[in-house]
Amino acid sequence: MKLSIDIEKKFSAFSLRFGTTIAGKNTGIFGPSGSGKSTVVKILSGLMQPDRGEITIDGECLFSSTRKINLPPEKRRIAMVFQQALLFPHMSVKSNILYGYKRCADAQRRLNPDALLELLRLQPLLKRGPGNLSGGEKQRVALARAVLANPRLLLMDEPLSALDDTLRFQIIPYLKSVSTEFGIPYLFISHSLVEMQLMADHAIVMEEGLIREETTPEMLARTRMAASRHGYLNLLRISGAEDRNGMFACRWGGNVLLVSENPGTGEALFELSSREIILFKKNPEAISARNLLQCTVTELFRSDTRIGVELTSGGEKLVAEIVPRASEELGITTGSTIFAAIKASSFRRLS
Amino acid sequence: MLLTPEDINAIGLSMKVALTATILSLPFGFAVAWVIVYKAFRGKVLLEVLVNLPLTLPPVVIGYLLLLLLGRNGFIGRMLMESGFPVIFTWKAAVLASATVGFPLLVRSIRLGMESIDPSLVDASRSLGATWQDALFSIILPLSSRGILAGSSLMFARSLGEFGATIIVAGNIPGITQTIPLAIYDYASSPSSTAMALSLCLVSILISVAILILHETVAGKIESGRNR
């Protein structure tokens, strides 16, 4: 999928200028609310008309002010998942899911509805009405409905914002697997950096109606480390939890970590702030923190007045945050060995 | 209860006129409500005023204007007459009178129903491949059903009670254009017919109660259908 977009739109108190080419499968648009993300979504889907510019997808022109082309939304084959699920209240879950599929030309029906229902575990919900589904179920139905319209691009406009934290991170694997399994590229719009890190390979940063920069979510998280309230958030996938004196010992790469929150069975996602990691030059032998990892410093980076230290341990990476003075005292350089202490309670379970 | 054959005729005619007026007005009422809710254009206020005018005008005025339009010397009346389809002083004139008077009530209710639909639902349907016509029939129409139902009930009830406009364009001809209100009017002018007038009043009350019960039942069904 190759999407070229170069558009302008003026409102009374706000103007938008958005020009870029998107080629990757998992691209994110990141920015605070009011930065123009949703306007871009509306313009791409054809629900709003830009003042001027051009939009082409895989060589087909969707909009061109000079050539007077403006494809209506139903001809663009760009499906959307919104912040609210927006299920049709007068239809059953099944009719909701098949709404776009039924309106799709036979030649474009590439997906098998049963396989998707299986993947999203929607079979038990089919006969119900949308009125008594939970928030997460609603969003899964909305996702299935959008995907079955066989779009060439899926726009996800803050699809997780209306869900609570636990649900948010339960839905993310579904969003990703649907795109991978069925080969549908997506544009993921969010104001959450963690969501960007989990969902996108490439991030377009918007501010006040303009593209501020194009980068990777990882780079974005690193440069914003010092300014962010929570520092850099390390995302750890851990598995194989075992109860050990009221704490849980789990595998994380080649290491064993002790966490205080129950990770449950199977794989779980935890976050760890870069500010919760204490670095030691030598093995401190006895400390109260329950995790002490021997690490190699693989990279140092600057974020305002702080220094980010990328550590590698057991094949996994962590970012710790220190002030320059500490860096000098510890004599940290790339390649040096260092000990990282982390309290078991510092890990916060996301899913 | 005392009901003469003419009374039964009047009851039948009232129902026929009210039903025909409601059914004929429904598609137009829906279309006008849709235009008012979803379309932005110059002169929208004018359209709204025009639609609501029969609500504020005395029905007699409406009847008189219809008479001018549909009468022998009226523009439309002459055309209808020449094509062998006379309207004036027939039950069809009563339908037209009822439709004109009840139309604003119908449009208002449908419009309220449409305005309560989240516009994003229509956006969602469009992005899923529905043309605007498709969205109109698959999303807007079913989601306005409560408004359509309320509007139809109101309009049907209003048509049953129509008097002023009807007596002018359709007259008060027993067996041909005499509806329940017109028959009661006749009885009321002679002191010996109190019992007859009261019987027809009772019939009116029964029909009104039946409409209200039917409306509540169907509305309840629509509501419970959404909360499965």
- Structural domains in chain A plus CATH codes: 3-223 (3.40.50.300), 233-349 (2.40.50.100)
- The shortest CB-CB distance from A104 to any of B129, B227, B228 is to B129
Number of Cβ pairs closer than 8 Å across A and B? 76
- The shortest CB-CB distance from B130 to any of A89, A103, A132 is to A103
CB contact under 8 A, A82 and B124: yes
> What would the mean pLDDT of A190-213 be, rounded to a whole number?
94
Q: Looking at residue B222, what is its pLDDT?
A: 85
CB contact under 8 A, A86 and B227: no
CB contact under 8 A, B124 and A86: yes
Chosen from B116, B128, B227 to mutate, greatest number of chain A CBs within 10 A: B128
CB contact under 8 A, B127 and A78: yes
Domain boundaries, chain B: 5-57+100-164+178-226
Q: Looking at residue A171, what is its pLDDT?
A: 84
Tell me how long chain B is.
228
Q: What is the mean pLDDT of chain B?
A: 92
Distance (Å) from the alpha carbon of A312 to chain B's nearest alpha carbon:
45
Q: What is the mean pLDDT of chain A?
A: 92
Q: Looking at residue A95, what is its pLDDT?
A: 95
CA distance A21 to A3: 6
> What would the mean pLDDT of B147-171 be, rounded to a whole number?
94
Q: Looking at residue B1, what is its pLDDT?
A: 67
CB contact under 8 A, A129 and B120: no
Q: Looking at residue A120, what is its pLDDT?
A: 87
Query: Which pair of structure tokens corresponds to residue A125?
Result: 């919900």
- The shortest CB-CB distance from A74 to any of B126, B142, B145 is to B126
Closest alpha carbon within chain A to B221: A90
Chosen from A76, A97, A103 to mutate, greatest number of chain B CBs within 10 A: A103
Q: Chain A residues with CB-CB distance to B under 8 A? A: 45-47, 72-74, 76-80, 82, 84, 86, 88-90, 92, 99-100, 103-104, 128-129, 131-132, 145-146, 149
Neighboring chain B residues of A128 at a CB cutoff of 8 Å: 228
> What would the mean pLDDT of B85-95 be, rounded to a whole number?
90
Q: Looking at residue B76, what is its pLDDT?
A: 86
Distance (Å) from the alpha carbon of B152 to chain A's nearest alpha carbon:
20
Q: Looking at residue B227, what is its pLDDT?
A: 65
Q: Looking at residue A111, what is its pLDDT?
A: 83
Q: List pLDDT tens digits, range B125-142.
A: 999 999 999 999 999 999
Q: What share of chain B has pLDDT > 90, as a percent? A: 78
Query: Which pair of structure tokens corresponds to residue A344?
Result: 């078991």
Q: List pLDDT tens digits, range B14-65.
A: 999 999 999 999 999 999 999 999 999 999 999 999 999 999 999 999 999 9
CA nearest to A82, candidates A122, A42, A109: A42
Q: Looking at residue A92, what is its pLDDT?
A: 93
In this structure, of A44-53, A85-94, A101-110, the range with the lowest mean pLDDT score is A101-110
CB contact under 8 A, A74 and B131: yes
A277-292: buried (b, 16+ CB within 10 Å) or exposed (e) per residue?
A: bbbeeeeeeeeebbbb
pLDDT band at A175 (very low <50, low <70, confident <90, very high): confident
Q: List pLDDT tens digits, range B188-210.
A: 988 888 899 999 999 999 999 99
Q: Chain B residues with CB-CB distance to A under 8 A? A: 118, 120-121, 123-132, 134, 138-139, 142-143, 145, 225-228
Closest alpha carbon within chain A to B118: A86
Q: List pLDDT tens digits, range A263-278.
A: 988 889 999 999 999 9
Neighboring chain B residues of A149 at a CB cutoff of 8 Å: 127-129
CB contact under 8 A, B225 and A90: yes
Q: pTM of the entire structure?
A: 0.85
Q: Looking at residue B228, what is its pLDDT?
A: 61
Report helix, strand or coil for B33. helix
> What would the mean pLDDT of A69-73 be, rounded to a whole number?
96
Q: List pLDDT tens digits, range A116-126.
A: 898 888 999 99
Domain B5-57+100-164+178-226 is found in CATH 3.40.109.10: no
CB contact under 8 A, B128 and A46: no
CA distance A120 to B100: 53
CB contact under 8 A, A104 and B123: no
**ipTM at complex level:** 0.84
Neighboring chain A residues of B224 at a CB cutoff of 8 Å: none
pLDDT band at A17 (very low <50, low <70, confident <90, very high): very high
Distance (Å) from the alpha carbon of B220 to chain A's nearest alpha carbon:
14
Q: HEC string of chain A?
A: CCEEEEEEEECCCCEEEEEEEECCCEEEEECCCCCCHHHHHHHHHCCCCCCEEEEEECCEEEEECCCCEECCHHHHCEEEECCCCCCCCCCCHHHHHHHHHHCCCHHHCCCCHHHHHHHCCCHHHCCCCHHHCCHHHHHHHHHHHHHHCCCCEEEEECCCCCCCHHHHHHHHHHHHHHHHHHCCCEEEEECCHHHHHHHCCEEEEEECCEEEEEECHHHHHHHCCCCCCCCCEEEEEEEEEEEECCEEEEEECCEEEEECCCCCCCCEEEEEEHHHCEEECCCCCCCCCCEEEEEEEEEEEEECCEEEEEEEECCEEEEEEECHHHHHHHCCCCCCEEEEEECHHHCEECC
Q: Looking at residue A93, what is its pLDDT?
A: 95
